Structure 1
């Protein structure tokens, strides 16, 4: 079975020491990326760890496909115990970092401890350098990147940095790479910030030799030649469909259609797109560099989730306003989905929907933990009662845009996801809109009979995150291509995903998570019976816990 190669590099920023460990057995069993990081975290992170304490470990990992020249492979993984969800959480970022990371020769790099001063850490194939950079305290992402380029001759594509939000331990702070790409969901930027690490750079010329089958060329060619709407509008291309089926969260989830949708939909974004945007080696080019010359705003995006969070959910119907919110989040190092949803909760409490100036003020206050921003920085789950609004989160993570009250299987998948209300954990929305071929689609109504398909989707997404292969490759990465590229039967590959999901769940079980956490803020038909079906499909107990005998390393 194809897998990543290279040692684990452990970096203790408390005493500025490093160690390397042979992890070939883990790589052979879990491929790379999320699978390897989850397996290592399960062994190396204390079950009772404080997410913002020195014993939490932040793991960066990539996979074997980063040795290819195939489209959909410009991504990598970060894993730690999340300060937002309090569970083990993996986050995935695109851009151009993954191959610079692979050039160091390591399959995984982990950070532990907490430095006594603000550091930049340079990781190369020749060693690790710890550089105190106190002058970067409070710097934005672009200010930090400017300093790194001037003083250390490294590009944005070699870096993972935190903005003020990460330094201030905002629970939904992101780690930014390639300037505008984010390890977003779960607040892993706060984990790096709590370690007093402002930036990490990766460089080298020691990428391991991983032989990739010629099928990679077929996938790449199809990605380059296919006339796909995402090449023009990115993920926001689905917004009109979501609104049409009454599945577009609006006004802090109180409504499911938005009368101003034409101002923030795919066509609105496409009108502001001024060039192609892509990730490393990818010809699909679905990214959205956007610009409004009249107001002097230039950013990348927004994608659908952000257009919902800062658009319909906040009562904003101007795409340029959403672009500005998106840019602020990228500059300050905030997960734009959680930032937008949390601000929407505050707008609901204050009856201020549509107040764009207040929105931008709140983004700044959250990142710097100033004024009411200090409260909002805790995230919806911790502050909903204080605001007097409904708690629109699962396991501490606020909801993505795909509406579970309409797409009932997606709703169930939010409930059982180890990561909380995140749409990418199973991407079940694609089955129910549907965005897949008719023979793969399911009707959106109801929950019974969908547990097996949800588990299958979760396993497949975990496989993609381990490969690492972009989840938007679903029309191109067929089971037979997975088999050819990874040199194993598809069911064997899905088992890697299943074991990864089970290890995440088991880790979280040790932190107190069980069936009582697999909850939604709304009712779905036959929900309890559907939970039983899901646990049965997984071989877990009816309490939603993984039996010790079922934990497979």
Structure 2
């Protein structure tokens, strides 16, 4: 089976020491990316670790496809304990860093400990340098990448960094790469901030040779020649459909349709797009460099999730205002979904929906934990009572834009997903709108028979994250092509994805998560029966826990 190659490098930022570890057995079993990082975290991070403590590790990992030139592979994985959810969480970012990471020759780089001073950690194939950077305290993401380029000659494509939000431990702070791409959900930027690491750079000339079957060129050619609406509008191409079917959260989740959708839909984004945007080696080019010269706003995006969080959910109907919110979040290192939803919650509490000046002011206050921003920076699950608003989260993670009250299978997915209300854990919404062929589509309402679909899509998404292959490869990366690339039966590959989901669940079980956490802030028909079916499909206990003895805890030892 095709898998990533190379050792793990452990970087103790407190002791400023490094150790290499042979992890071939883990790579052979879990392929790479999220799977390998999850397996390593399960063994190396104490179940009772504090997300902000020195014992919490952060794992950056790549997969075998990052040694290829195939489209949909310009991504990489980051795994750690989330300060927002309290559970093990993996986040996936695009851009151009993954291949620079692969050039170090490592398949995984683990960061542990806490530095005594603010540092940039330079990871190269010939060693690691710890650079004190006191002058970068609370520097923005562009300021940080500019410093690294001027001082070290490394472009933004080599850099993963945090903004002020990460340093100030905003619980939904992002790690930014290529300036505008984010390891967004779950607050991993705050973990890096707690370690007193401002930025990490990756460079070298030691990329491992991995033989990729020629089917990769079929995928790449089709990505280049396809006439897909995402090439013009990115994920915002779904905005009008979501609004039409009643799945677009509006005014802090109180409504499901937005009367101002025409001001923030895919057409408006396409009008502001001024050039093509892509990730490393990808010919699909679905990214959205946008600008408005009249108001001096330039950003990448917004994507659909940001159109929801800072648009309809805040009752904002001007795409340039949403672009500005997106720009601010990228500058300060804030997840646009959680950032926008937190702001929407505050607007609901103050009856200030649509107040654009206040929205932009709140983003900055969150980043620096100033005034009410200090409260909002804790995340909705921690502040909702104080503001007197409903708790629109699952496991502490607030909801994405494809609303489960209309797309019921997506609702079930939000409830059971290990990282909370995240749409990318299954992307089952695509089958319920539908965005797939009619013969594959699912009826959006009702949960009968949905649990097996949720399980299969969780496994498929986990497999993609091991590869690492972009979510938007749907329709290009067929099961047959997975088999051709990875050299294994597709059901066997899905079994790898299943094991990853189970390892995440088992880890979180040890931290107290169980059935009581697989819940929703709204009712769905036959929800408890669907939950029972989901657990049965996975051979888990009725209380939502993985059975004792199910997980192999063989240690990974250092050389």
Residue 533 (structure 1) aligned with residue 533 (structure 2): yes
Q: Secondary structure at the match of 1:419?
A: coil
Distance of 1:549 and 1:115 partners within structure 2:
37
2:11 equivalent in structure 1 = 11
Distance of 2:551 and 2:431 partners within structure 1:
29
CA deviation after TM superposition for structure 1 residue 539, in Å: 0.4
Distance of 2:550 and 2:463 partners within structure 1:
19
1:384 equivalent in structure 2 = 384
Q: How does 1:182-201 map to 2 (within 5 A)?
A: 182-201=182-201
1:221 equivalent in structure 2 = 221
Contact 1:54 1:195 (C-alpha < 8 Å) held by counterparts: yes
1:115 equivalent in structure 2 = 115
Q: Secondary structure at the match of 1:123?
A: strand
CA deviation after TM superposition for structure 1 residue 438, in Å: 1.5
Deviations 1:46-92 (A, max 9, x none): 00000011110000000000011100000000000000000000000
Distance of 2:404 and 2:397 partners within structure 1:
15
Q: How does 1:66-465 map to 2 (within 5 A)?
A: 66-465=66-465
CA deviation after TM superposition for structure 1 residue 548, in Å: 2.1
Q: Secondary structure at the match of 2:338?
A: helix
Contact 1:141 1:333 (C-alpha < 8 Å) held by counterparts: yes
Normalised by the length of structure 1, the TM-score is 1.00
Contact 1:64 1:467 (C-alpha < 8 Å) held by counterparts: yes
Distance of 2:421 and 2:411 partners within structure 1:
9
2:499 equivalent in structure 1 = 499
CA deviation after TM superposition for structure 1 residue 152, in Å: 1.1
Q: Secondary structure at the match of 2:424?
A: coil
Distance of 2:40 and 2:437 partners within structure 1:
37
Distance of 1:149 and 1:443 partners within structure 2:
51
Distance of 2:144 and 2:282 partners within structure 1:
27
CA deviation after TM superposition for structure 1 residue 335, in Å: 0.3
Q: Secondary structure at the match of 2:18?
A: strand
2:556 equivalent in structure 1 = none
Deviations 1:179-230 (A, max 9, x none): 1000000100000000000000000000001000000000000000000000
Residue 481 (structure 1) aligned with residue 477 (structure 2): no
Distance of 2:513 and 2:431 partners within structure 1:
28
CA deviation after TM superposition for structure 1 residue 246, in Å: 1.1
Count of aligned pairs between the two proteins: 553
1:31 equivalent in structure 2 = 31
CA deviation after TM superposition for structure 1 residue 440, in Å: 1.3
Distance of 1:56 and 1:29 partners within structure 2:
24
Contact 1:451 1:537 (C-alpha < 8 Å) held by counterparts: yes
Distance of 2:430 and 2:52 partners within structure 1:
35
Contact 1:535 1:542 (C-alpha < 8 Å) held by counterparts: yes
CA deviation after TM superposition for structure 1 residue 551, in Å: 1.7
Deviations 1:236-279 (A, max 9, x none): 10010000011110000000110000000000100000000000
Distance of 2:497 and 2:113 partners within structure 1:
29
Distance of 1:44 and 1:549 partners within structure 2:
18
CA deviation after TM superposition for structure 1 residue 552, in Å: 4.5
Which runs of structure 1 show a deviation greater than 3 angstroms over 4 or more consecutive aligned residues? none
Contact 1:406 1:445 (C-alpha < 8 Å) held by counterparts: yes
Q: Secondary structure at the match of 1:424?
A: helix
Distance of 1:457 and 1:527 partners within structure 2:
18
Q: Secondary structure at the match of 1:128?
A: strand
Distance of 1:465 and 1:255 partners within structure 2:
33
Distance of 1:447 and 1:388 partners within structure 2:
31
Instruction: Give structure 1 stretches of 5+ with no counterpart.
Output: none
Contact 1:499 1:552 (C-alpha < 8 Å) held by counterparts: no
Normalised by the length of structure 2, the TM-score is 0.99
Distance of 1:439 and 1:535 partners within structure 2:
27
Distance of 2:9 and 2:511 partners within structure 1:
26
Distance of 1:39 and 1:438 partners within structure 2:
37
Q: Secondary structure at the match of 2:198?
A: strand
Q: Secondary structure at the match of 2:549?
A: helix
Instruction: Give structure 2 stretches of 5+ with no counterpart.
Output: 554-559
CA deviation after TM superposition for structure 1 residue 437, in Å: 1.3
Deviations 1:315-370 (A, max 9, x none): 10000000000000000000010000000000000000000000011000000001
Deviations 1:119-148 (A, max 9, x none): 000000000000000100010000001100
Distance of 1:314 and 1:354 partners within structure 2:
6
Distance of 2:366 and 2:452 partners within structure 1:
40
RMSD: 0.5
Q: Secondary structure at the match of 1:549?
A: coil
Distance of 1:41 and 1:334 partners within structure 2:
24
Distance of 2:189 and 2:448 partners within structure 1:
37
